[in-house]
Amino acid sequence: MSDASAKTVAPLDEVMLAMDVVDTLRHRQDLVTRELDGASREQQLIEKLRSVYHQQGIEVPDHILKEGVAALAESRFTYEPPAPGLNTTLARLYVSRRRWGRPVMAVLAAILIAGVGYFGVWQPFQRGQAEQAQVELSQGLPAQMDALYQTIYDETKVQQAVTQAEALVTRGKAFAAENNRIGAEDAVARLTALRDQLRQEYTLRIVNRQGVQSGFWTFPEINTDATNYYVVVEALNPDGQAVSLPILNEESGQTDTVSMWGVRVPEAVYNAVAADKQDDGIIQGNMVGRKSAGFLDVQYAVPVLGGAVTQW
């Protein structure tokens, strides 16, 4: 570095002294207000500053004192906060990032995870479920209907079952084509019930045990001059176990699933059963009918009048 350029740069200790002078002037506002009211009193301020530093045991050259006074007047070492604005706001946010950074990053991470979960997992899952449901409705349920119809066709021994199955398949496929899942599933359920009904095997026997009526009679509410006679029956499968069946109660109009009910019979049948039981306490002719596999209805061994009750 040349001597000329070295002279243009003030030594660091002189700069520090000048800054100290300015700092002293700021803390001694009484000196500033009294002594800097006019430029002619600059020398008096310098003298007082020299006295202040002398009392502290510090000898400050006059040019440093003058430099400090001039710097105070020019506000050279005075910090002025930047004007409000976008750049200032961004700078302050950057400086204070340690305080708000972690919470913000945690929130952003949570949003990112939620977004990935929703758009990357939940929505594809929902679309997959919807597509699977549509495929099941358009293909799966009609295929089930066809399979059930074929089973019914192969196992039935009466045309009535085939006719019912054809009607259910036609209606169920129409519901499927209309995207009516409830209707299509109901058709499958009815076909399943029809198949199960065909496969059922049981016998209807008159109940003959202590504490249970074997028959009774009633006066119908709509015609109190008439008398209805019933024998109490139960359905027993080939293993001798009671089977619960849906029975339409002709008095209430409701269908109840029961294992024992009353079958309406002619008075002569009722009297014959009563006489059979009174003979020795045992009903020898207790067979009322049989439901065989492949048939929908019971083949009755005694005359019946087509009505039943589930409560008496």
Q: What is the pLDDT of residue 28?
A: 59
Identify whether 82 is part of a domain: no
Structural tokens at position 302: 């005694």
Mark whether 209 and 291 lie in a shared domain: yes
Pairing of the two strands 260-265 and 215-218: unpaired
Mark whether 220 and 290 lie in a shared domain: yes
Identify whether 248 is part of a domain: yes
Q: What is the pLDDT of residue 12?
A: 47
pTM score above 0.95: no
Mark whether 194 and 206 lie in a shared domain: no
User: Which domain range does residue 173 map to?
Assistant: 111-199
Q: What is the pLDDT of residue 38?
A: 52
- The Cα 281–Cα 214 span in angstroms is 11
- Considering 168, 199, 230, which residue would you say is the last residue of a domain? 199
Mark whether 207 and 195 lie in a shared domain: no
**pLDDT single digits (tens) 70-100:** 766 665 545 567 778 887 787 777 777 778 8
Q: What is the pLDDT of residue 14?
A: 59
Structural tokens at position 109: 């991470």
Mark whether 209 and 290 lie in a shared domain: yes
pLDDT in tens, the chain (312 residues): 444 444 444 454 655 666 666 666 656 555 554 444 555 556 766 777 777 777 777 777 777 777 766 766 665 545 567 778 887 787 777 777 778 878 888 888 888 888 888 777 787 777 777 778 787 888 999 999 999 999 999 999 999 999 999 999 999 999 999 999 999 999 999 999 999 999 999 999 999 998 899 999 998 877 777 899 999 999 999 999 999 999 999 988 999 999 999 999 999 999 999 999 998 889 999 999 999 999 999 999 999 998 999 998
Mark whether 14 and 63 lie in a shared domain: yes
C-alpha separations of 130 from 127, 238, 248, 270, 293 in Å = 5, 45, 40, 59, 40
Identify whether 288 is part of a domain: yes
Pairing of the two strands 202-206 and 228-236: antiparallel
Structural tokens at position 131: 């597509």
- Considering 27, 56, 74, which residue would you say is the last residue of a domain? 74
Q: What is the pLDDT of residue 191?
A: 97
Identify whether 105 is part of a domain: no
Q: What is the pLDDT of residue 161?
A: 96
Identify whether 102 is part of a domain: no
- The Cα 252–Cα 258 span in angstroms is 15
Phi, psi angle pair for 215, to nearest 5° = -170, 165
Identify whether 5 is part of a domain: no
Q: Total domain count for the chain?
A: 3
Q: How many residues does the chain have?
A: 312
At CA 172, angle to CA 166 and CA 175, rounded to 5? 145
Mark whether 211 and 301 lie in a shared domain: yes
Identify whether 106 is part of a domain: no
Identify whether 232 is part of a domain: yes
